[in-house]
Structure 1
Amino acid sequence: MENRRRIEGYVFLAAFGLCIPAANWLIGNVGTVCVPNGPCLIPVAPGVEAPSGVLMIGLALVLRDMVQRRLGVGWAFGAVVAGAALSAVFAPPALVVASALAFFISEAADLAVYTPLQKRGLILAVVASSLVGLVIDSVIFLQVAFGNQDYLLGQVLGKAWMVLIAIPFVHLLRRRDEKLDIEAA
């Protein structure tokens, strides 16, 4: 059973790592509108648009939590550092600093909130840490990349949608873990 959880942790780690280049590729290539010298935008609510990379960053916040759940805090922190480096490598040249800085600070904040809360409940920890991380990521990224907060509502909503979509899967994972723990006892 422990081996199975470790393998899942490596899968979560790989998915987390893939979110970073995907987010950077999306922001420059996929959207209903691509702003000249700016991001490609997608609708995240009626009348609200956000840079398309928000989808992958929202997912990355949850995946980082799952890496920590399966592999431990050391692996999670290593993933944050590696993720910031990947973000710098894969970001469009104009967004390298914004992408890497926002990613590192928001994921570190996610880790800091998730770690103490996980003992009180997995869903609470994932939701609270993701909300803190997604707001920090949005504020820092927009300010450093574009010098304004024009897309803040869209950034927050887009990332929050991804967190909400992931919660049922986190719940199923927690339920399966509980069942396996009972069977192993």
Structure 2
Amino acid sequence: MVLGVAAMIGYLLSVVAANVVSVHWSPLAGGGLLIPAGTLFAGVSLTARDLVHEVCGPRGVAAGIVAGTGVSAVLASSQIAVASVVAFVLSEALDAVIYTRVRHRTRLGAVAVSNVVGLVVDSAVFVPLAFGDVAAVPGQILGKTAATACTLLALHAAGRMVRP
């Protein structure tokens, strides 16, 4: 129960951070890429959703997606909110389906595969709706991929610490 609450809070905090930062911080530019400021937090939310799935099951994930959608609608500007809600529902639902199908083989692999699909779908839908063009799609994909890599390393390290 406590672990489920902690997982859900972590998930929703990552959604809140992605929305607040996207609204209040300017995009980052570097290496020819434009990276929306909330990208890393949005990438973390993909792995956090998988953790909610592990601890709370499919119903917990559905509740988290509904709560995350509501948070997005309340915290973001109207344009960011609409883009976030549409992209969030599509990418998180697809991420959940893929994670469910792959997790029996390897949980880290399921996180990796579901996150990659989720981050591409989220980026391809969110960026044009939020910003009116696709210029930031490559940067958003790169940022979310970096966040996924960091969360995978953390999960791997945590798994090694648990095992003798």
Structure showing greater Rg: 1
CA distance in 2, matches of 1:173, 1:114: 19
Where do 1:1-185 residues align within 5 Å?
A: 6-30=1-25, 40-43=26-29, 46-175=31-160
Query: 3-state SS of the aligned residue for 1:148?
Result: coil
Q: TM-score, normalised by structure 1?
A: 0.82
Q: Is the 8 A contact 1:16 1:63 kept in 2?
A: yes
Report the alpha carbon displacement of residue 168 of structure 1 after superposing the two structures with TM: 1.6
Contact 1:106–1:134 (8 Å) recurs in 2: yes
Flag structure 2 segments of 5+ consecutive residues without an equivalent. Answer: none
Q: Deviations over 1:59-88 (max 9, x none)?
A: 000000011111212101211121111111
SS at match of 1:49: strand
Between the aligned partners of 1:98 and 1:87, the Cα distance in structure 2 is 9
Contact kept in structure 2, 1:117 and 1:124, CA below 8 Å = yes
State how far apart, in whole Å, the 2-side matches of 1:177 and 1:76 are.
25
Q: Partner amino acid for 1:95?
A: I
- Matched-pair contact (CA < 8 Å) for 1:122–1:174: no
What SS does the aligned partner of 1:149 have? coil
Give the counterpart letter for 2:39 in structure 1: V
Q: Give the AA of the match of 1:13.
A: M
CA distance in 2, matches of 1:143, 1:76: 26
User: Sequence identity, in percent?
Assistant: 33
- The Cα of 1:29 is off from its aligned counterpart by 2.0
TM-score, length basis structure 2: 0.92
d(CA) in 1 for partners of 2:74, 2:37: 18
Shift of 1:145: 1.9
Specify the SS of the correspondent of 1:144: helix
Structure 1 unaligned blocks of 5 or more: 1-5, 31-39, 180-185
Measured on the aligned residues, the alpha-carbon RMSD in Å equals: 1.6
